[in-house]
Structure 1
Amino acid sequence: MTDSQIVITPVTSKADRKAFVDLGQHFAAQTPYSVPQLRGEMLELIDPDKNPFFEHAQVRLMIAYREGRAVGRISGHIDELALELPPEQGMGPGTGMFGYFDAEDEETGHALLAAAEQWLREQGMTRVIGPISLSIWEEPGLLTFGHDHAPTIMMGHHPAQYQGWIENYDYTAAKRLLTYDLDTTKEFSPLIQRIVKSCERNPKIVMRGADKSRFADEVRIILTILNDAWSDNWGFIPFTDSEIAYAAKKLKPLIHPEIVRIVELDGRPVAFMITLPDVNKVLKEIDGKMLPFGWFKLWRWSKKPLDSDMRVPLMGVLKEFHNSRLASQLAFMLIDGIRLAATEKFNTQRAEIGWILDDNQGMVAIADAIGSTINREYLIYQKSL
């Protein structure tokens, strides 16, 4: 497909995938506050033989060239599990996606969007949403607020001009995702402290750290709660068994039992909260390179990430409790317990909570109640094909 001097070609080989990743890193290096990610990790995410996302998805990666020089990239993809969702949850039949959007200029950006849209039409799609790169659990949305500071682990970071380029191509906002900044050194209000103390005094409620000696079992407990707790949320796609195993393997080095908690009610797991130390701090120091000594710095930091910011990517309470006071009580208990542990053990000063759907009233109310403030906003766009 061509647009003036722009030629867009599909990624079909291992060498092409390397070029696709290297191009993304090139654009990231030109974006203020962006953090270089590990090249090997990025290659693995787009490798059909390694990322289990490809087991239920069709993916078309594309690179734009102008006079032989790479000037942009994009993915078009169809998640078969997303097609099974009810339309009121944001996806459903006929919904394809675009992601990995990078472009040197608006003309290139529009040519890339047109190419992704055309491929999706050819696959029978009638609607497109994005950017989502590649899974909703990886990097959903385009950064539209918060460009003036670095992202935390597993959060995207995009040039400010991309928003105008996408909106100028007839895309409209489908969903707003928020992250919240929390000063972990400050105690919560007396009201929340009383709620937490009440939970701690209840003999039926036990909060414990994750047990790394039975890590696979703990991961399944957490994701079983997650798949239930989030099942009615916009854009929710349940983890498959192979994705659970993949996520467990990838995240295990970053798991510290003190900051990953499970709550049991009468011995039954009913809530959880995962907190991850912000590896982006180290990736910035080593410039995203494992060699010659980056691997050692990363390994040493992962053992005890002192002075690290934290990110809370996931938390949940079983759906049967969502309309009761217990849900918010358990959330406050989890947040306060992990806040104290992170501050005392790792000298953490701040944490980022999210992403949170802007219309998730329960979580937004909890974020407001603990004194956190919105520090980043991401938009997922939509367009009829």
Structure 2
Amino acid sequence: MRVTGWRDKREFVEFPYRLYRHDSFWVPPLRIQQRRMFDTHRHPFYREAEMERFLAVRQGRTVGRIAAILDHRYIRHRQEQAGWFGFLETVDDVETAAALVSAASDWLVRRGIRLMRGPMNPSTNYECAMLVEGFDSPPYVMMPYNPPYYPRLMEGLGLRKAKDLYAYHTTATEINVAQAERVAEYASARGVRVRPVRLKEIKAEIERFFQVYNSAWNNNWGFVPMSRAEMEYLAEEIKPVLDPNLALLAEVGEKVAGCALALPDINQALRHARGRLFPLGLFKILYHRRRIRRMRVVILGVLEEFRAAGVAAALYAALFRHGLRAGYREGEFSWILEDNVMMNRSLEALGARRYKTYRIYEWKG
């Protein structure tokens, strides 16, 4: 059934909290953030995108949900007639999964789209892909999680792999800081300078991130440029957990050459709030936030003209220095495309190990 009134909208948000209530690895997102994500009137993503949401109901009880998404910015940028499915949650039942996937694909076909990929929640600039390996630990901040039966359901319905995304893990004792520092010295000798963002110039700094992000990732599979409004919106979303020393810009002379962003793994605190800020959730988050010892490298990109200058290593070295000084003992690098050979090899050389795999599936009508 199509989501229409406020009861359906509430049910779409609430269903995962029931589905995962006995799953110790799932981290309940804040409900207020979920509602913002689905606000098609206010969230800047929907200025150039459409979304239709569906619920699967059996005997009066919700057993699944899905969204069909048409990102016009992607179609225009990649010159590919493709649409997405996203925000998929379902019980372990092939008929339910089939009904959900059919609802999304039918909605896209009616709009002339016969290639569907997902999960995209709602694009590669946000949470995306389905966990297919590495179900033995909770996700880091802004990474998805799902039960082990999800890939089986997708493949049983005939969806095929479009692309795999990797997540790497390391610890303070495993990471090869010396290796990164050696390359960083090489970069420094060639004029590369890495600095934290200047909070007093935050609008200008966001603009610098924006320019690097949309340029450095432009040729990556599945990439769609983020609008300026989206970048500003996301900056507001992460501001409460941002450590300025982990938001870095690399410069060569007067030019911005690259950027990096790592976030404290706020999931370690969020899991205690059970999706609510009030009446006690906020206090629990603030209390447990002091104990966070994990961080995730969310963004690290270098403009093409500077990729031979050791900029990436300089950014990594600065993240390692600041992270260790701040007391972080574990870290995740995610996500990296399976065919990004240079980045995958670089992380392995730095002592990181691949420990989770996420998959974007594809359906062709």
TM-score band, normalised by shorter chain: over 0.9
Aligned to 2:34: 42
Equivalent of residue 253 in structure 2, options 258, 262, 266: 266
Distance in 2 separating the partners of 1:18 and 1:293: 21
Counterpart in the other structure of 2:9: 17
Deviation at 1:94, TM superposition (A): 2.2
| Partner residue, 1:337 | 318
Counterpart residue type for residue 281 of structure 1:
Q
Partner amino acid for 2:165? L
The aligned runs of 1:211-360 (5 Å cut-off) are: 211-299=198-286, 305-322=290-307, 324=308, 326=309, 329-345=310-326, 347-360=327-340
Within 5 Å, give how 1:1-385 maps onto structure 2: 9-86=1-78, 92-104=79-91, 105-186=93-174, 188=176, 190-202=178-190, 204-299=191-286, 305-322=290-307, 324=308, 326=309, 329-345=310-326, 347-385=327-365
Residue 306 of structure 1: CA displacement? 4.7
AA paired with 1:313?
V
Residues 1:111 and 1:30: Cα distance change in structure 2 (over 3 Å): farther
CA distance in 2, matches of 1:190, 1:58: 48
Shift of the 78–170 alpha-carbon distance from structure 1 to 2, 3 Å rule, reads same
Q: Tell me the secondary structure at the aligned position of residue 285 of structure 1.
A: coil
Q: Which amino acid aligns with 1:273?
A: A
CA distance in 2 between counterparts of 1:198 and 1:161 reads: 47
Q: CA deviation at 1:335?
A: 1.0
What's the CA shift for 1:208?
Answer: 0.6
Alignment partners' CA distance in 1, 2:183 and 2:260: 18
Query: 1: CA distance between counterparts of 2:104 and 2:226?
Result: 25
Q: CA deviation at 1:205?
A: 2.0
Local SS of the residue matching 2:86: strand
State the AA in 2 paired with 1:320: E
Contact residue 29 and residue 36 of structure 1 kept, 8 A: no
1:40-97 CA-partner distances (Å, limit 9, x unpaired)? 11111011122111111110100011111111101111100111233xxxxx432111
Aligned AA (2:351): G
Aligned to 1:89: none
Paired residue type of 1:117: S
Shift of 1:158: 0.4
CA 209–79 in structure 1, closer or farther in 2 if over 3 Å, else same: same
For 2:219 and 2:5, the matched residues in 1 are separated by 38
SS of residue matched to 1:85 = helix
Contact 2:52–2:67 (CA under 8 A) maintained in structure 1: yes
Q: Distance in 1 between matches of 2:61 and 2:100?
A: 15
Alpha carbons of 1:307 and 1:251: their partners in 2 closer, same or farther (altered >3 Å)? closer
TM-score between the two structures when normalised by the length of structure 1: 0.90
CA–CA distance in 1 between the matches of 2:302 and 2:89?
A: 37
1:262 is displaced (CA, Å) by 0.7
1:173–1:381 Cα contact (<8 Å) kept: yes
The runs of 5 or more residues in structure 2 that have no matched partner are: none
Q: Which residue of 2 aligns with 1:4?
A: none
Letter in 2 for 1:370: L
Partner amino acid, structure 2, of 1:374: R
Deviations 1:179-211 (A, max 9, x none): 100213445265543222233344x22111111
| 1:27, distance to aligned residue in structure 2 (A) | 1.8
CA distance in 2, matches of 1:185, 1:100: 36
For residues 230-278 of structure 1, give each alpha carbon's deviation from its aligned partner in whole angstroms, at most 9, with x where no partner exists. 0000011111121122111111112212111111101221111100001
Inter-partner Cα distance in structure 2 for 1:125 and 1:72: 23
Cα distance change on mapping 1:298 and 1:216 into 2, 3 Å: farther
Q: Which stretch has the larger CA shift, 70-79 or 292-301?
A: 292-301
Q: Deviations over 1:18-49 (max 9, x none)?
A: 11010122223243411111011111101112
Query: After TM superposition, which residue ranges in structure 1, 4 or more long, deviate above 6 angstroms?
Result: none
Q: CA–CA distance in 1 between the matches of 2:287 and 2:232?
A: 25
**1:15: Cα distance to partner?**
2.8
Instruction: Say if 1:216 and 1:248, in contact at 8 Å, map to a contact too.
Output: no
Kindly, what percent of the aligned residue pairs are identical? 28
Q: Which amino acid letter does the alignment assign opposite residue 25 of structure 2?
A: Y
